[in-house]
Copies of this chain bind each other. A is one copy, B any other.
Amino acid sequence: MATGFIGIGIMGEGMAGCLLKAGKALVVWNRDASKAQKLAAAHPGLVTVVSSAGEVIDACAVTYSMLSTLEASEAVFPSILASIKQGKSLVDCATLTPERMQTMASAVEIAQGRFLEAPVSGSKAPAAQGALIFLCGGDKSLYEECKPDLAIMGKADFYYGSTGAGSKMKLVVNMVMGNMMCALGEGLALCQASELPADNEGGLLKVLDLGIMSNGLFKLKGPKMLKGDHAPNFPLKHAQKDMRFALQLGDQVSTPLPLAAAANAAYIAQRADHGDEDFSAVFEGQKK
């Protein structure tokens, strides 16, 4: 039986591509049908394009969903739910709130289906390379059954318990990332204002890279930030959304997060002008 895939965006395209390269047949729906057709053309004989999310569920026992925003998720979920019944399973890979995941899980379970949240750590390139990290919560048996698929699309997967736990871990991870980006931006801003080199030999990025703080995020983003190149891997508005959700989680579990709160304010300040650019554009408000 074919596997379902809903949402062929920046992330979904790479993920579905990995499954196809591994020889799996997919039934696919995407709001913009041309993207689904393109995927079908690239993998002849393996992709069936259908005209609604519900039809994907109808045709498959297990369906992966990768919709980028809460709005998209809420718009598409009713069509999915209408087709859920015994024997149908939904694996949602989006980063939403724990509460939203729990709402979907309840609805799917009331309809006799199974639900697994599986938000991913990693962006466009890891998605294309099958190097995502899946942070799962929900139906344990479904998790076990999906592990071979997750292994195709990712380099690691973890199960944290009931629905919501995976999303919480995702928010913690992205909160650390949002803080790190903001910390890098402050460093580069202070460097430039102090008339010190930021890039090149002896520049801050070089010094950081030689020491214990060396990391891929700084290496990838730092040079681009200095050039004002914020082509989006992870849009600022989504990064800010995750900071907001992480702060809400902190509020719920009585954990004050003053650094994240300060970073969140910095992202909000740039959202109107740079929301669709990479979250590295927070630097636009930090530099002089």
Q: Which of B165, B204, B251 contacts A268 (CB 8 A)?
A: B251
A110 interface residue per 8 A CB criterion: no
Q: Is B216 within 8 A of A216, CB to CB?
A: no
Q: Is B266 within 8 A of A258, CB to CB?
A: yes
A140: min CB distance to chain B, Å: 14
A246 interface residue per 8 A CB criterion: yes
A219: min CB distance to chain B, Å: 9
Q: Is B202 within 8 A of A190, CB to CB?
A: no
Given A121-B207, A122-B211: A261 in contact with B265 (beta carbons within 8 A): yes
A187 interface residue per 8 A CB criterion: yes
A238 interface residue per 8 A CB criterion: no
Given A172-B190, A196-B160: A265 in contact with B271 (beta carbons within 8 A): no
Q: Is B183 within 8 A of A168, CB to CB?
A: no
A72 interface residue per 8 A CB criterion: no
Question: How many positions in chain A have a CB within 8 Å of any CB in the partner chain?
Answer: 75
Which residues of the partner chain B approach A272 to less than 8 Å between Cβ atoms? 254
Which residues of the partner chain B approach A133 to less than 8 Å between Cβ atoms? 207, 210-211
Cα-based distance from A250 to B193 in the complex (angstroms) = 8
Q: Is A190 within 8 A of B175, CB to CB?
A: yes
Q: Is A202 within 8 A of B158, CB to CB?
A: yes
Cα-based distance from A122 to B208 in the complex (angstroms) = 11
Which residues of the partner chain B approach A182 to less than 8 Å between Cβ atoms? 179, 259
A167: min CB distance to chain B, Å: 10
A253: min CB distance to chain B, Å: 4
Q: Is B208 within 8 A of A254, CB to CB?
A: no
A42 interface residue per 8 A CB criterion: no
A127 interface residue per 8 A CB criterion: no
Q: Is A204 within 8 A of B256, CB to CB?
A: no
Which residues of the partner chain B approach A135 to less than 8 Å between Cβ atoms? 207
Cα-based distance from A121 to B209 in the complex (angstroms) = 11
A173 interface residue per 8 A CB criterion: yes
Cα-based distance from A121 to B217 in the complex (angstroms) = 20
A37: min CB distance to chain B, Å: 32
Could you pull out 28 A-B pairs where Cβ atoms are within 8 angstroms? A133-B211, A155-B210, A156-B207, A156-B210, A165-B195, A168-B194, A168-B196, A169-B196, A172-B190, A172-B204, A173-B187, A175-B190, A176-B184, A176-B213, A177-B213, A179-B187, A190-B253, A213-B217, A247-B247, A251-B264, A251-B268, A254-B272, A255-B268, A258-B258, A258-B261, A259-B262, A259-B263, A261-B265
A-side interface residues toward B, CB under 8 Å? 121-122, 126, 133, 135, 155-156, 158-160, 165, 168-169, 172-173, 175-177, 179-180, 182-184, 186-187, 189-191, 193-197, 201-202, 204, 206-208, 210-217, 220, 240, 244, 246-247, 249-251, 253-266, 268-269, 271-272, 286, 288
